[in-house]
Structure 1
Amino acid sequence: MNAQTIFSIGGMAICGLLVIQLTAFAGRSVQGLLHARKQFRLSQELLRARITAAKRSLVFSDLSTAAWDGFRKFRVKWKTLEANGCHSFYLVPHDGKPLPPYRPGQFLTLSIKAKANERPLVRCYSLSDSPRQDYYRISVKKAVSQDPAVPDGRVSSFLNDHVKEGDILDVKAPSGSFYLDTDSESPVVFLAGGIGVTPVLSMLNYLVETQPNRRAYFFMGARNSTECPFGKHLRQVAAEHDNVVLHTRLSAPKPGDQWDSQGRVDVALLKSVLPTLRLQYYMCGPPAFLDSLTNDLIAAGVPKQMIHSEAFGAASVKKKPKPSTPAPDDENSIVVQFARSGRIITWDPRFETLLELAEANGITIDSGCRAGNCGTCVTAIKSGSVNHEAEVDADEGSCLPCVATPDGHVILDA
Structure 2
Amino acid sequence: MNSQATDSWRQSADRDLILNAGPRFELLVRGEGSHLWDGEGRRYLDFLAGIAVTALGHSHPVFVEAVSRQAGTLAHVSNYFATPPQLELAARLKRLAGAGEDGRVFFGNSGTEANEAAFKLARLHGGAERPRILSLENAFHGRTIGALALTAKASMREPFEPMPGGVEHIPATIEALEAAMDDRVAALFVEPIQGEAGVLELPEGYLKVARELTTKHGALLIVDEIQTGAGRTGDWFGYQHEGILPDAITLAKGIGGGFPIGALVAFGPAAALLQPGSHGSTFGGNPLATAVSNAVLEEIEQAGLVRNARERGVQVREAIEGIGSPLVTGVRGRGLLIGVALAAPVASLVVSAAQRLGLIVNAANASSVRIAPALTIGDAEIAEFTDLFAAALAEVAATALTETNA
Please tell me the TM-score bracket, short chain as reference.
under 0.3
Bigger Cα Rg: 1
Larger RCO (CA within 8 A; separation ≥ 6): 2
Give the number of the structure whose residues are more often helix, by fraction.
2
Give the number of the structure whose residues are more often strand, by fraction.
1
